């Protein structure tokens, strides 16, 4: 096997849901050996969101299976003294520990950074709860869309003169990226100095910096920027225009006077392009509505790919609005090998996206599918920690480890049709499972 | 205290947002970043607003000031052979080169990875571009909006009966920049373990797609293509007296908390409101009950009351409300940075905090501010040579 950039790094990971696991997956794909810890008492909740109410339903969550590739799975009850002991032995043998709980949870488990540092003075610990580990809101709850909102994004997003809008799903992955970068910065520092440290990452802070432009505008000019849809702050035309077919669109983005002239040429220089109200950048921007109406007439009877071809040939930035079904068979992505085929022991063979970076000497890719629950208990406990088969048997008996969740309530298979209904338009809506999640959450609260 | 990336020397040949954001993060955590700019004009982002009082000036673009903190600026004309020669001399003293031009640019300047490798035996070179260095669209023109369009995410965002809608500021650029930091540091980490440098190719399109991580798997496994649905129910985003709040009540526990917050326990037993599916059918009714309850209340009051009930309800601030949020004040999320031309301004601060190594709150450089330091002190050119280079338009 060819070498990987982080092949000498080991990470013990107790993250849950999306933001933490995806951060750690980025490091896993770069080559780190990641041991993901769940327990049969408490699954990663992402297994439930999008899982199916059937016997092995917790292995089917598309969300879970997307953000946990290249990881090993170990189940470990951290509330059990033997579970805690094994966890500490793993910390001793690792470089990084990652979690996305509020600081209260790790303290209640007696596994705070101060404790872990005693065990391994070189350890790097990433804590990435929504609001960070300090401050008056540190124990407050937030989900991905809350984070998007707290960063100010919806108030600058939306159709012109319309209500604020959010995407709802992208704040978590933004925080993940910042989390992976943070660990990488700390690893680079440790490589040089031998010193570990604690990383305190607030999703809100990490994402707020994405809005530096409107923030600096407020700071400089006390201006609250309006919602302007797909438009730029000062350049026109920019927009998403309807093409031939059902829900087919093209994005056109002019960035300079030269591109404006190119656009006019590409669409055959209709007489309106010569009107004074479109004569320069400022005029075009102040007449953006009228300009959009006139441009709209051109692509609306054409195939979006044809529109893009004409405009790119003329030297104008344009792209088709791709749905997922088009993206997976796009020739450019195919040539770059971005979409990979993965075979999972339970859910079979499917496609998912790979890593968006190519390394010339240490290529990275999806090497292993997301693990099934406790799939690597034996590898981790015997190969890494040297436990005996007999000890493993005892641990299973005491429910410290296992491969089936305790109290999983579903005994019947769900048919294909129902699966689609369960996933719905949100891709995360197993309502019944969400109700179960609540029960599990209450248990957790009771035990911590 | 020493910074985390102390001693790492980075040469930046970037403009606009993605590349400079990448090297800004490196510089803020301690890397020594030299930014190469075109003589006289500088990074084109210097002419993009906001500007104080809306007066465009080379040294006061808010975006430039934010994206280039803690860097050193030199000017160098890479269209002149002398300029290219000087660039190569700087490469000799560098650990990593970052560029974000179109894929033909570096080879055309004879500054592609293979050439740089002959000058410096183990450099890490990172290219950040919209499409990557290979593939049939590599020469296509692109902006933040077209990357959104290609990512698959635009298609899913917005109202069902309207055009797809991008959100935020320049998310695609920031995401590509962060992948750039991650990949480059990983490559440097490997270099210091194995003694081998390498070339790193970041595609902004692919990078941005990954921020909707399970899109492809969901489609591949179940054939699901998500459609635009506006705001995803049961999420709400509604105005209070003094601003907006956003909230979720998808689980039974959330719904019970919401009813408690509203002081309307009778809603729990109300026919048509009992299950999530029934509540879906009465969306508008439920939304209007919540809206009329919120409209005369203050954000702060509703927020804390909801959080007491563990309901994920938070403020949805506009830019005038963000800086003063108590959590940000307590954690120092924003910092004041002084600049000789732009003056003292408040900037977004560290994206994460490291316990042992400080984040730096230095300012952005003036155009060519470090010419003398880099050319004379580091490369050993005399002041006389510097004057002559300036006269020739090389710097």
The 10s digit of each residue's pLDDT in A160-181 is 999 999 998 899 999 999 999 9
- The DSSP 8-state label assigned to residue A8 in this structure reads T
**Residue of chain A nearest B27, judged by CA positions:** A185
3-state secondary structure of A34: strand
Handedness of CA A205, A210, A213, A217 (dihedral sign): negative
Q: Give the model's pLDDT for residue A312.
A: 98
The 10s digit of each residue's pLDDT in A413-446 is 877 767 766 664 443 444 444 444 444 443 333 3
Which is it for strands B9-13 and B32-37: parallel, antiparallel or unpaired?
parallel
Cβ within 8 Å, pair A219-B345:
yes
Report chain B residues whose CB lies below 8 A from the CB of A339: 216
Please compute the mean of the pLDDT values over residues A71-87 and round it to a whole number.
97
In terms of Cβ atoms closer than 10 Å to its own Cβ (0-12, 13-18, 19+), residue B169 is: buried
Question: Quick check: A353 contacting B, CB < 8 Å?
Answer: yes
Q: Which residue has the tokens 């709209």?
A: A296
Which member of A3, A251, A427 has the closest CB to residue B226?
A427
CB A75 within 8 A of CB A35: no
Question: Quick check: B378 contacting A, CB < 8 Å?
Answer: no
Q: What is the pLDDT along chain B (395 residues), one digit of tens a residue?
A: 899 999 999 999 999 999 999 999 999 999 999 999 999 999 999 999 899 999 999 999 999 999 999 999 999 999 999 999 999 999 999 999 999 998 888 999 889 999 999 999 899 999 999 999 999 999 999 999 999 999 999 999 999 999 999 999 999 999 999 999 999 999 999 999 999 999 999 999 999 999 999 999 999 988 889 899 999 888 999 999 999 999 999 888 999 999 999 999 999 999 999 988 899 899 999 999 999 999 999 999 999 999 999 999 999 999 999 999 999 999 999 999 999 999 999 999 999 999 999 999 999 999 999 999 999 999 999 999 999 999 999 99
| DSSP sequence for A319-381 | EE---HHHHTT-HHHHHHT-EEEEEETTTEEEEEE--SEEESSS-----SPPPPTTTTHHIII
Question: Quick check: A96 contacting B, CB < 8 Å?
Answer: no
Cβ within 8 Å, pair B185-A238:
no
Any idea how long chain A is?
Answer: 448
Report chain A residues whose CB lies below 8 A from the CB of B326: 135-137
Question: Quick check: B323 contacting A, CB < 8 Å?
Answer: yes
Per-residue pLDDT band at A104 (split at 50, 70, 90): confident
Handedness of CA A209, A212, A214, A216 (dihedral sign): positive
Starting at the earlier edge strand, list the strands of the sheet with B235-240: B235-240, B243-248, B313-316
Question: Quick check: A417 contacting B, CB < 8 Å?
Answer: no
If contacts are CB pairs under 8 Å, which of residues 171-230 in chain A contact chain B? 173-174, 177-182, 184-189, 191-193, 195-202, 204-206, 208-225, 229-230
Cβ within 8 Å, pair B62-A141:
no
Question: Nearest CA to CA, how far is A289 from chain B (Å)?
Answer: 14
Question: Quick check: B203 contacting A, CB < 8 Å?
Answer: yes
Residue B279 to residues A50, B262, B274: CA-CA distances in angstroms? Answer: 20, 16, 7
Count CB atoms within 10 A of the CB of residue A332: 19
Question: Nearest CA to CA, how far is A302 from chain B (Å)?
Answer: 16
Q: In the structure encoding, which two tokens stand for residue A262, read together?
A: 């190119």
Cβ within 8 Å, pair B217-A350:
yes
Q: Give the model's pLDDT for residue B83.
A: 95
Percentage of residues of chain A with pLDDT beyond 90: 85
Domains of chain B: residue spans and CATH: 9-212+331-391 (3.40.50.10540), 235-321 (3.30.1540.10)
Domains of chain A: residue spans and CATH: 10-201+334-447 (3.40.50.10540), 238-323 (3.30.1540.10)
Q: In the structure encoding, which two tokens stand for residue B134, read together?
A: 């290979």
Q: Give the model's pLDDT for residue B233.
A: 87
Distance from C-alpha of B229 to C-alpha of B235, rounded to nearest angstrom: 12
Question: Nearest CA to CA, how far is B360 from chain A (Å)?
Answer: 14
Cβ within 8 Å, pair A213-B170:
yes
Give me Rg for the CA atoms of chain B.
25
Cβ within 8 Å, pair A152-B319:
yes
Q: Give the model's pLDDT for residue A434.
A: 43
Any idea how long chain B is?
Answer: 395
Q: Give the model's pLDDT for residue A438.
A: 40
Report chain A residues whose CB lies below 8 A from the CB of B223: 420
Has this prediction a pTM greater than 0.90? yes
Q: Which helix (H) or strand (E) holds A238?
A: strand A238-242
Cβ within 8 Å, pair B217-A66:
yes
The 10s digit of each residue's pLDDT in A275-330 is 999 999 999 999 999 999 999 999 999 999 999 999 999 999 999 999 999 999 99
Q: Give the model's pLDDT for residue A427.
A: 39
Q: Give the model's pLDDT for residue B232.
A: 86
Q: Give the model's pLDDT for residue A422.
A: 64
Cβ within 8 Å, pair A173-B213:
yes
Question: Quick check: B47 contacting A, CB < 8 Å?
Answer: no
CB A124 within 8 A of CB A199: yes
Per-residue pLDDT band at A156 (split at 50, 70, 90): very high
In terms of Cβ atoms closer than 10 Å to its own Cβ (0-12, 13-18, 19+), residue A355 is: buried
First to last CA, chain A: 43
CA B77 from centre of chain? 28
Question: Quick check: B132 contacting A, CB < 8 Å?
Answer: yes
Cβ within 8 Å, pair B331-A202:
yes
The torsion angles phi and psi of B234, rounded to 5 degrees, stand at -90, 55
Question: Nearest CA to CA, how far is B14 from chain A (Å)?
Answer: 18
């Amino acid at each position: 096997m060819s070498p990987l950039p982080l092949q000498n790094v080991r990470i013990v990971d107790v993250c849950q849901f999306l933001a933490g696991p995806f951060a750690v997956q980025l490091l896993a794909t770069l080559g780190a050996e990641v041991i993901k810890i769940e327990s049969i008492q408490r699954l990663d909740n992402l297994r439930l969101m999008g899982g199916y109410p059937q016997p092995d339903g917790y292995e089917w969550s598309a969300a879970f299976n997307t953000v946990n590739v290249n990881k090993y799975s170990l189940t470990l009850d951290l509330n059990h003294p033997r579970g805690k002991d094994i966890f500490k032995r793993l910390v001793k043998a690792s470089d990084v520990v990652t979690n996305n709980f509020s600081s209260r949870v790790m303290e209640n488990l007696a596994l705070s950074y101060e404790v872990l540092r005693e065990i391994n003075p070189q350890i790097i610990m990433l804590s990435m709860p929504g609001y960070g580990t300090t401050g008056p809101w540190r124990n407050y709850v937030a989900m991905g869309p809350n984070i998007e909102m707290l960063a100010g994004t919806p108030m600058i997003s939306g159709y012109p003169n319309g209500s604020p809008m959010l995407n709802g799903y992208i704040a978590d992955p933004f925080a993940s990226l910042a989390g992976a970068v943070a660990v990488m910065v700390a690893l680079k520092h440790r490589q040089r100095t031998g010193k570990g440290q604690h990383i305190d990452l607030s999703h809100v802070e990490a994402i707020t910096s994405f809005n530096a432009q409107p923030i600096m505008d407020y700071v400089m000019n006390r201006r609250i920027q309006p919602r302007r849809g797909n438009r730029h702050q000062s350049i026109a035309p920019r927009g998403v225009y309807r093409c031939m077919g059902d829900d087919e669109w093209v994005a056109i983005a002019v960035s300079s006077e030269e591109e404006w002239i190119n656009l006019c040429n590409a669409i055959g220089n209709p007489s309106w392009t010569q009107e004074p109200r479109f004569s320069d950048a400022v005029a075009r921007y102040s007449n953006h509505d009228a300009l959009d109406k006139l441009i709209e007439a051109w692509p609306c009877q054409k195939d979006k790919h044809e529109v893009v071809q004409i405009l790119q040939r003329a030297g104008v930035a344009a792209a088709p609005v791709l749905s997922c079904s088009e993206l997976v068979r796009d020739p450019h992505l195919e040539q770059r090998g971005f979409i990979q085929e993965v075979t999972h022991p339970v859910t079979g063979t499917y496609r998912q996206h790979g890593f968006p970076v190519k390394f010339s000497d240490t290529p990275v890719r999806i090497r292993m599918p997301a693990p099934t629950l406790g799939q690597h208990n034996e590898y981790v406990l015997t190969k890494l920690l040297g436990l005996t088969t007999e000890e493993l048997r005892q641990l299973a008996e005491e429910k410290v480890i296992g491969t089936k969740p305790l109290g999983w309530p579903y005994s019947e298979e769900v048919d294909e049709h129902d699966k689609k209904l369960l996933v719905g338009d949100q891709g995360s809506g197993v309502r019944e499972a969400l109700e179960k999640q609540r029960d599990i959450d209450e248990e957790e609260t009771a035990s911590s | 205290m020493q910074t985390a990336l102390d001693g790492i020397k980075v040469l930046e040949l970037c403009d606009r947002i993605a590349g400079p954001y990448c090297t800004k993060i490196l510089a803020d955590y301690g890397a020594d970043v030299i930014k190469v700019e075109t003589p006289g004009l500088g990074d084109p982002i210097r002419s993009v607003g906001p500007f104080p009082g809306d007066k465009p000036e080379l040294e006061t673009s808010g975006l430039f000031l934010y994206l280039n903190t803690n860097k050193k600026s030199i000017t160098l004309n890479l269209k002149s052979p002398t300029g290219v020669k000087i660039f190569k001399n700087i490469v000799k003293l560098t650990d990593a080169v970052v560029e974000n031009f179109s894929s033909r640019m570096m080879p055309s300047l004879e500054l592609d990875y293979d050439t740089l490798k002959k000058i410096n035996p183990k450099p890490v070179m990172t290219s950040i571009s919209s499409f990557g260095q290979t593939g049939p669209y590599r020469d296509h023109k692109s902006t933040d909006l077209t990357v959104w369009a290609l990512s698959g995410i635009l298609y899913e965002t917005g109202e069902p009966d309207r055009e797809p809608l991008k959100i935020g500021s320049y998310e695609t650029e920031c995401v590509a920049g962060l992948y750039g930091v991650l990949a480059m540091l990983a490559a440097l980490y490997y270099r210091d373990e194995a003694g081998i440098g390498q070339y790193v190719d970041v595609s902004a399109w692919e990078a941005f797609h990954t921020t909707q991580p399970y899109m492809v798997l969901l489609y591949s496994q179940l054939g699901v293509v998500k459609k635009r649905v506006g705001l995803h129910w049961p999420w709400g985003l509604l105005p209070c007296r003094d601003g907006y709040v956003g909230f979720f009540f998808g689980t039974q526990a959330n719904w019970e908390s919401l009813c408690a917050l509203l002081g309307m326990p009778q809603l729990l037993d109300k026919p048509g409101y009992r299950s999530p599916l029934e509540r879906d059918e009465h969306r508008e009714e439920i939304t209007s009950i919540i809206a009329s309850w919120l409209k005369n209340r203050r954000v702060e009051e509703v927020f804390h009351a909801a959080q007491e009930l563990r309901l994920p309800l938070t403020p949805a601030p506009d830019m005038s409300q963000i800086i003063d949020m108590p959590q940000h004040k307590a954690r120092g999320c924003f910092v004041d940075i002084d600049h000789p031309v732009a003056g003292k301004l408040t900037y977004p601060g560290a994206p994460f905090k490291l316990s042992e190594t400080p984040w730096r709150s230095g300012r952005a450089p003036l155009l060519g501010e470090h010419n003398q330091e880099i050319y004379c002190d580091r490369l050993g050119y005399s002041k006389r040579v510097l004057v002559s280079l300036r006269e020739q338009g090389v710097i």
